Amino acid sequence: MAREKILRVRLSNEEWEKLNLYAQLKQYSISEVIRDYIKSLKAG
pLDDT in tens, 12-41: 999 999 999 999 999 999 999 999 999 999
The dihedral of CA 1, 18, 22, 42: what is its sign? Answer: negative
- DSSP annotation of 42 reads P
pLDDT higher than threshold 80 for residue 44:
no
Tell me what pLDDT residue 1 has. 78
Q: Are 33 and 22 in contact (CB under 8 A)?
A: yes
Cα 27 to Cα 10, 31, 37, 43: the distances in Å are 23, 12, 15, 28
Q: Where would I find the beta strands (DSSP E) of the chain?
A: none
